[in-house]
A and B are shown apart, each in its own frame.
Chain A
Amino acid sequence: MLHIPIFLIIIPVVSAIVIYIVKNKHVNYLALVAQAVMTVLAIVYFHHFYQDGAFQPQTFIIGLWDDVGIPIRTDGLSMSFVFLTLFSWWMVLLYTFNTKETDHDFVFFMLFLQGVFLGLLQTNDLFNMFVFVELTTIIVTILVAFNKTPKSFRAGLYYLLINTSGVLAFLIGIIFLYFTFGTINISVITAEMLAVAPTTAMRFTYVLLMAGISVKAALFPVFTWLPKAHGAARAGISALLSGLVVKGGLYLFIRINAMFAEAGYQYTDFFFVIGALTAIIGIVFAISQTDIKQMLAYSTVSQIGLIVVGLSSTDALVYSGGVLHIFNHALFKVLLFMAAGMLIKVYQTKYVTDMRGVMRSMPLLGIAMLFAMLSITGAPMFNGFISKSVIMYGFDTTDLRYWVLFVANIGTATLFVKMSQIFFGPKTFSLRFHNKLQDATLIVLSVMLIVFGNFYITIGQGFFGADFSDITLTLAKALEYIIILGVAYLLYRFLVRPDGQLVRRLRHFTLSFEVANYLFVTYLLVMMLYFVVWL
């Protein structure tokens, strides 16, 4: 029973290799079989160790020799991420499923990425964490460049180099941890953290680790790779990258901060500022775009900022709201990217200004997209409402921080008012989707949005041990949502739709690679000034 985490890593990798070697007409079905086996194994594992209303953390050490080995540890958080991973991969595999000759390579990289990502979620060893993060970077680069267009090669290169430099900062941090503690086992380091926490070297280590993670998670000054990579990849890949792979960085954020919990560094204020800046700047860029995938990619940046705001809270409830938003965001962003991919295919354009009449031409797609948009803007009865309310729960209306988040919410609403213009207009196509699998994924994801929006109390207790029963739908909140939508419509009508010079300038704003790296070094220095000198 304890071996199941290893199988979760090995099964996708082995079946990926088999698919790549065999390459015949039917072998792609092996991906679905592997996926089904993994899902069953994960459920059995979770069920077996689920006692007293919570998942009991399990540690398994590979190559056990005098307590030394490669540790794998699963707790409630990593198991919930494992289920999210399996679910997202199900959706994307079904969405992109095809038995064509050319798709073997694609399925190979997809499954391999899943194995690596599951490894990242379950490892308890810092160096393995580094290896898995770097492998994720390499495979994602290949997947981004998979379209073989000039734009995707450029985006892949940008992504690879900037992420590698971030991950190397992470590796330097690991080196310092190893020579301080004599081990790279996360549990051991967590237990012994208090003794060495006040030293300057340990603060320096924290800064290096966090700088690397910030690049992976696309926080404010170092997010420029994300819109490029997610805009250039295929629709299914973009869905996976935005929905899940970016969350790998946030998972590391949670883990490393938990590791330094005993040290008591005051990271919450710093990351609140970074998160709020990410949320607002991301959404400002998103509103100025007209390319549907760029809009969604910048919106991901903004939502990550919101999640970081939640995660960098001392209040346990707000913290679990941040974790919950990771899941909710994965659900609706996967749905939106998939729908965007279908729209681009049907309309043969990627500009929202050229798409009209979606609701009449493709009602199913239209309704699924509407659900996702309602969710992401925080409409009552949908899942986005719950996590946004939980994150806002910690702040009073007199607090400045509440209004910062409020502005970000208005921005999100404006973006989706702009995007929702594609629904209106006359029927332009008499074409219906014949791909039943893609329709099915849209339906499943829409249902999940509503399930997460209504059964959040059970889900919160089962996975995060958090009590969300304080969050209820009140008239004030419904009114607030209507006000936000009203302000967003006015903003759209008078600021965004005229497409003034400011909006156009923002749309074509791009950072060259060396400037992005310069920002990364500056970010590192600012963090050092704050954590090493100031605190």
Chain B
Amino acid sequence: MDPMLTFLVILIGMYGLSTSKNIIKSVFSVTIIESGVILLFLNLGNWRGGSIPIINGAADIIADPLPQALMITTIVIGSTVTALALMLCIKVFHHYGTVEWREILRRGEGK
């Protein structure tokens, strides 16, 4: 996969973030950007198509292990953020009865 394609994924996420008026869609857009970033890092780390970074003397080209180690952390953080955001979405929906940003921000204290 071309690293440039991952930029497309990031841009799609950014487009979604700056146009969608729905909280759930905003959460998804953040997740999409995050996926794009992870794919970008992994692709750049292994653009020559090497094998897994476990050295047993067989492979000539191996992938850079550092991006993989770092991206595991990013995935964990990303899932935490998504879980927290969705929890807050549920709470907001219970109090306001809607998941539209404009509606929520316009109202003072909710129902």
Residues of A in contact with B (beta carbons under 8 Å apart) = 127, 131, 134-135, 137-138, 141-142, 145, 148-151, 153-154, 156-157, 160-161, 164-165, 168, 171-172, 175, 178-179, 510, 512-514, 517-518, 520-521
Q: Are A154 and B105 in touch, CB under 8 angstroms?
A: yes
Tell me the minimal C-beta distance from A264 to chain B in angstroms. Answer: 27
How far is A151 from B92 in the complex, measured between Cα atoms in Å? Answer: 9
Are A514 and B26 touching (Cβ within 8 A)?
A: yes
19 sample A-B contacts, Cβ–Cβ < 8 Å, listed by A number: A141-B84, A150-B92, A150-B96, A153-B91, A154-B105, A156-B88, A157-B89, A165-B14, A165-B17, A168-B37, A171-B37, A172-B40, A175-B41, A175-B44, A510-B105, A514-B17, A514-B21, A514-B26, A517-B14
- Tell me the residues in window 38-52 of chain B with beta carbons closer than 8 Å to chain A beta carbons: 40-41, 44
Across the interface, do B18 and A153 meet the contact criterion of CB distance under 8 Å? no
Q: Are A134 and B77 in contact (CB under 8 A)?
A: yes
CB < 8 Å: which of B10, B73, B89, B101 contacts A513?
B101
Q: How far is the CB of B62 from chain A (nearest CB, A)?
A: 15
Interface of chain B, main secondary structure: helix
Known: A160-B85, A161-B85, A517-B18. A150 touches B109 (CB 8 A): yes
CA distance A510 to B105 in the complex (A): 8
Which residues from chain B contact A178 at a C-beta distance below 8 Å? 66-67
Add 19 more A-B contacts to A150-B95, A172-B10 (CB < 8 A).
A131-B73, A131-B77, A138-B77, A138-B80, A145-B91, A148-B91, A150-B96, A150-B110, A150-B111, A154-B104, A157-B23, A161-B85, A164-B81, A168-B37, A510-B105, A510-B106, A513-B26, A513-B105, A514-B20
Contact B109 A160 (CB under 8 A): no
Q: How far is the CB of B13 from chain A (nearest CB, A)?
A: 8
Report chain A residues within 8 Å CB of B10.
172
Q: CB-CB < 8 A to B20: which residues of A?
A: 514
Residues of B within 8 A of A145 (CB): 88, 91
Q: Which residues does chain B contribute within 8 Å of A127, judged by CB atoms?
A: 70, 73
Shortest 7 CB-CB distances between A and B: which pairs?
Answer: A150-B110, A150-B95, A518-B18, A517-B18, A157-B88, A513-B101, A153-B91
Are B18 and A160 neighbours in the complex by a CB distance under 8 Å?
no
Closest CB of chain B to A530's CB: distance in Å? 19
Is residue B56 within 8 Å, beta carbon to beta carbon, of the partner chain?
A: no
Chain B residue contacts of A171, Cβ below 8 A: 37, 74
A172: chain B residues at CB < 8 Å are 10, 37, 40
Residues of A within 8 Å of B106, CB to CB, are 510
> Once the chains are docked, how many angstroms separate the CA of A389 from the CA of B21?
45
Beta-carbon contacts under 8 Å, B75-111 to A? 77, 80-81, 84-85, 88-89, 91-92, 95-96, 101-102, 104-106, 108-111
B33 CB-CB contact with A under 8 Å: yes
Give the shortest distance, in Å, between A149 (CB) and chain B (any CB): 7
The answer to whether B109 touches A161, judged by C-beta atoms less than 8 angstroms apart, is no
Which B residue's beta carbon lies closest to that of A151? B109
The residue in B17, B34, B67, B80 that gathers the most chain A C-beta atoms within 10 A of its C-beta is B17
Given A138-B81, A172-B10, CB of A153 within 8 Å of CB of B101:
no
List A contacts of B81 (CB < 8 A): 134, 137-138, 160, 164
Per-residue CB contact flags for chain B residues 23-36 toward chain A (1 = under 8 Å, else 0) read 10011001001100
CA A521 to CA B17, docked complex, whole Å: 10
When the two chains form their complex, are residues A521 and B89 in contact, meaning their CB atoms are under 8 A apart? Answer: no
> Are A153 and B67 closer than 8 Å at their CB atoms?
no
User: A160–B101 contact, CB under 8 A?
Assistant: no
Residues of A close to B104: CB separation below 8 A: 154
A1 to chain B, nearest CB (A): 29
**CB distance B95 to A153 under 8 Å?**
yes
Chain A proximity of B81: nearest CB distance (Å):
5
- The reply to whether A512 and B110 form a contact with Cβ atoms under 8 Å apart is no
**Contact residues in A for B109 (Cβ distance below 8 Å):** 149-151
Separation in Å of the A184 CB from the closest CB of chain B?
A: 8
Min distance, Cβ A529 to any Cβ of chain B, angstroms: 17
Residues of B contacting A148 in the complex (Cβ-Cβ under 8 angstroms): 91
- A305 CA / B68 CA spacing, docked (Å): 38
Question: If the complex has contacts A150-B95, A154-B104, A161-B27, are A175 and B40 also in contact, measured as CB distance less than 8 A?
Answer: yes
A165 touches B91 (CB 8 A): no
Which residues of chain A are within 8 angstroms of B91 by Cβ–Cβ distance? Answer: 145, 148, 153
* Residue of A with least CB distance to B25: A514
Q: Which residue of B lies closest to A176 (CB)?
A: B44
Residues of A within 8 A of B19 (CB): 514, 518
Nearest CB of A to B14, in Å: 6
CB-based contact A138/B40 at 8 Å: no
Known: A513-B26, A518-B18. A160 touches B73 (CB 8 A): no
Cβ–Cβ contact B26 & A161, under 8 A = yes
In the complex, A321→B110 CA distance in Å?
Answer: 43
Q: Provided the pairs A513-B26, A514-B18 are in contact, do residues A168 and B33 lie with their beta carbons within 8 angstroms?
A: yes
Which residues of the other chain, A, contact B85 by a CB distance below 8 angstroms? 157, 160-161
Residue from the set B19, B23, B30, B70 with the largest chain A CB neighbour count within 10 Å: B70
- Chain B: minimal CB distance from A523 (Å): 11
Residues of B within 8 A of A137 (CB): 81
- When C-beta atoms are compared, the residue in chain B nearest to A141 turns out to be B84
